[in-house]
Amino acid sequence: MALNLQVKVHPVVLFQIVDAFERRNADSQRVIGTLLGNLDKGIVEVTNCFCVPHKEYDDQVEAEINYAIDLYDLNRKVNSNEVIVGWWATGHEVTNHSSVIHEYYARECNNPVHVTLDTSLQGGRMGLKAYVCVLLGVPNGKQGSMFTPIPIDITCYDPEVFALQLCQKTMGTSSNRPKQTHPVQDLAQVAEAGNKMGSLLDQVLSYVEDVLADRVKPDNAIGRSLLDLVNSVPHMTNEQFSEMFNSNVKDLLMVITLSQLIKSQLQLNEKLTLLTSV
């Protein structure tokens, strides 16, 4: 059953792991922590995590279990839907101490997953892997265990996609000082998304024309993806699309207007409160 699991990690989890690694003690080789999320139909969705202080020696591991329990209880008060689904560690491989740590999380949840994030950037990228621990041995004989890889992907909510796109705009600077950026207005986001979609469509059309002209060898996987893309587009006339688009834009403008009115009213109430208190 455990081998059929699939892990989906949200970007905020990766940011928290990297932040914990950057804040680690000088004598720490790696950092570990608890993974929080939910399990549904064989898919483990990791939405949150926290670091667990620990020390590793040649023959033992010391972890602050009470700290992990208290932090999990506090998180449950604000995120009751998140439960323990496994644990994470920095590094590119499973170590000798991983089985000892995994035994603790096996008591906290069924079939815990183990996620590793390679913060040493071997191969020029931050490798992300997931494992489950499978018991080995014969009945009534000596038992052992083995960490077996399972599929892992990165998934995003819509707000996370917007945050990642905003973070990408801070890249590309040659100085040590990070590039600053600010969220754009809603209509500007619509225009930016439209321009990006137009650019992607141009790339698709260019690829299709090259395949038809025998300039590029066709790829069946890309062809199936394009077919699914075409089938996913609803069939409507230009007039129906314009009406739908204009209706959505009107709704967006109404939301922007109402939010600005609420903001102005709150600022006015704040100033009135200050005047009455004086």
Q: Could you tell me if residue 166 is inside a domain? A: no
Nearest CA to 35 out of 11, 51, 55 is that of 51
pLDDT tens string 63-72: 888 999 999 9
Q: How confident is the model at residue 2 (pLDDT cuts 50, 70, 90)?
A: low
> Do 243 and 122 reside in the same domain of the chain?
no
Q: Which of 136, 156, 176 is the last residue of a domain?
A: 156
Q: Could you tell me if residue 255 is inside a domain? A: yes
Q: Which of 156, 172, 197 is the last residue of a domain?
A: 156
Q: Could you tell me if residue 35 is inside a domain? A: yes
**33, 23 contact by CB (below 8 A):** no
Q: Could you tell me if residue 44 is inside a domain? A: yes
> Do 12 and 146 reside in the same domain of the chain?
yes
Write down the residue that tokens 């170590």 correspond to.
95
pTM of the model: 0.67
**64, 109 contact by CB (below 8 A):** no
Structure tokens at 2: 């455990």
* Count of domains forming the chain: 2
Domain span including residue 12: 2-156
- Tell me what the mean pLDDT of segment 30-49 comes to: 92
